[in-house]
Structure 1
Amino acid sequence: MNATDRTPADLLRSALAAEPGRPLVTFYDDATGERVELSVATFANWVAKTANLLQGDLSAGPGDRVALLLPAHWQTAVWLLACASVGAVADVAGDPASADVVVSGPDSLEAARACRGERVALALRPLGGRFPQTPSGFVDYAVEVPSQGDRFAPFAPVDPEEPALIVAGAEFSGAEIVERASAQAPSLDLTGPGSRLLSALPYDTWEGLSAGLYAPLAVGGSVVLCRHLDRLDEESLAKRIESERVTALRR
C-alpha cells in the first residue's frame, strides 16, 4: 500500500506495480476439487476486462448500484475490484429489484430476475467456464468477458469519498474500505508483504470481505480463499496450510 492509495482499485494498481508475478488470490472449492491461483497480474487483467464490460457494455458508472448475488469466490473478488475501478457501488447480496445491474451465480438466478437493468450470470464453473446454455434474460459473463480490453480507464474519475460498497446493511466509501482494511490487518495476523491468509469466511459480512480480499491486498499479502472448507478434515487442512505457506487462518 502507498500513501496515495485511496480506493481498492488504487491498492491493486500499487500491487501490480510492485510485484506483478506474486500470487494474490488462490481459490479452492472443496465440493468440486477446484483450485485456481491468480497472480497480481492475472487478477488485475480479469479486473480490467470486467470493468470494461461493466462500464462499456453494461453502461454502469459512478454511483450506479451493482447487486452481487455471489458466494465467496475468486470471480466475486474480481467483480468487487471492477466495481471499485468504475466507481459503481458493489452491493453484496443486495436487492436486485433496486439495482442498476445484477450479477448472479447459478443458485440465485430467479431472485436476480427482479432487476430491471442489466443482468449478468456467472456459472462459477472450474476455469471460469460458461453455462451450457445462457440463462434467459442474462448475459453469460464467461462468454462476454474474454473479448474485453486488457486495459481499463474510467470515463469519469472515481471519488474515494463516494459510496463504494454495501454489505450487511453498512455502507463504505472507497477510502473507508482502504482505511479499515489497513487498520484491521494486524488483528488478522497480516504483518505485511508475504503474509498469506487462508479464509473460509463468507463474503456477506465486512469481516469476510476484509479477511478474504481487502486486508491482504492492503498489506501486500495474499489470500487462500476456501469455499466448502467444512468438507475437509483437519489433517487435510493442515497439509493445505503447509503447502500454501499460510501464515494466518480465519474460518
Structure 2
Amino acid sequence: MSIPASELMAALRSGNSTSPRLTWYGPDAERVELSGRVLDNWVAKTSNLLQDELDAEPGMSLRLDLPAHWKSLIWALAAWQLGLELVLDGGEADLLVTSEPASSGGGFDAVIAVPLPALAMRWPGELPRGVLDYASEVRSHGDVFMAHGIPDDSAHAVRTGDGSVHEHSVLLEGFAASHETGARLLVRASDGLEGALANALGAWHNGGSVVLVHPDVELTDKLLAAERIQGS
C-alpha cells in the first residue's frame, strides 16, 4: 500500500528533480540548497538508518525535538515515508530525535543526536552513552529506500502541538497547508517547526519549493529577489 508521503517522495525525485526544492538560510552566512533528487537522497538515507540500524517499522512513533531547520524537514519526511507517527507535542514516543541529547531523559528505545550546522560531520563533543550520532552515521546508508514493512494509511502520521492527530491517508490534505501550484514559498523558522512542516508539505504537494530562513537572517530585498520569492 502506498501512502501519501511515499508518493510525494516519488514526485520530488522524478518531476523536475534537478530544480531546487528546499533552500535553507542559516546563521553565519549558511546556505543549503537541495534539489528534488538530493532531498530524496537525504530522506532515503535517513529512512534506511531508521529501518536498518534502529529497527523502526510502521506504527512506531518518533518525537522530533528540533527547531524549524532543513534537517528537521528531512527527518519528518523520513519518518512519514517509513509509516511512523511524528510526535510534535513533546509526548511519549518510541524514538527521540534531538539537538540537545544531554537533556533528553529516558523512556525511549533510541535517541538520535542531530548537530545543526550544515557541514557537521559528527557531533561536536562527547555524547551520552547509547545516543546515536546522526551526522557520522547517516552517510553510510543507502541512497534508495526500500520499505521492509507495509505502512497502514489509517495509522497516525502526526500528533501536533495541541494533541490533535492526522492519519497518513490525509497527511497532505488534513495537515499540509494549502498553497498555489508551483509556489516558491518563504517559510520563517521563527514560526515554529509545526508551521514549517505544514507549509513545506503544502508547497511540495503542489509542485512548489521552499525557502526556509533562520530567525537571525535578515530578509533583504536582494535575498527575496535572488530566490524569486513573491508576496513575502
Contact 1:102 / 1:115 at 8 angstroms: preserved in 2? no
Corresponding residue for residue 247 of structure 1: 230
Q: Which runs of 5+ in 2 are unaligned?
A: none
Contact 1:36 / 1:127 at 8 angstroms: preserved in 2? no
In the alignment, does 2:172 pair up with 1:178?
A: yes
Letter in 2 for 1:88: L
1-structure distance, mates of 2:16, 2:2: 16
Corresponding residue for residue 115 of structure 2: 123
In the alignment, does 2:98 pair up with 1:86?
A: no
Letter in 2 for 1:153: M
Alignment of 1:1-251 (within 5 A): 6-29=3-26, 31-95=27-91, 98-105=92-99, 108-137=100-129, 138-168=131-161, 169-180=163-174, 184-185=177-178, 190-193=179-182, 195-201=183-189, 202-205=191-194, 207-211=195-199, 213-229=200-216, 231-232=217-218, 236-249=219-232
TM-score after normalising by structure 2 = 0.91
User: Cα deviations across residues 98-127 of structure 1 (Å, max 9, x unaligned)?
Assistant: 32110101xx32332323311100111123
- Cα drift, residue 248 of structure 1: 4.2
Distance 1:130 1:158, change over 3 A: same
1-structure distance, mates of 2:192, 2:89: 9
SS in 2 for 1:26: strand
1-structure distance, mates of 2:47, 2:73: 12
SS in 1 for 2:119: helix
2-structure distance, mates of 1:153, 1:81: 14
Distance 1:166 1:244, change over 3 A: same
TM-score after normalising by structure 1 = 0.84
2-structure distance, mates of 1:93, 1:141: 22
Letter in 2 for 1:21: T
Q: Which runs of 5+ in 1 are unaligned?
A: none
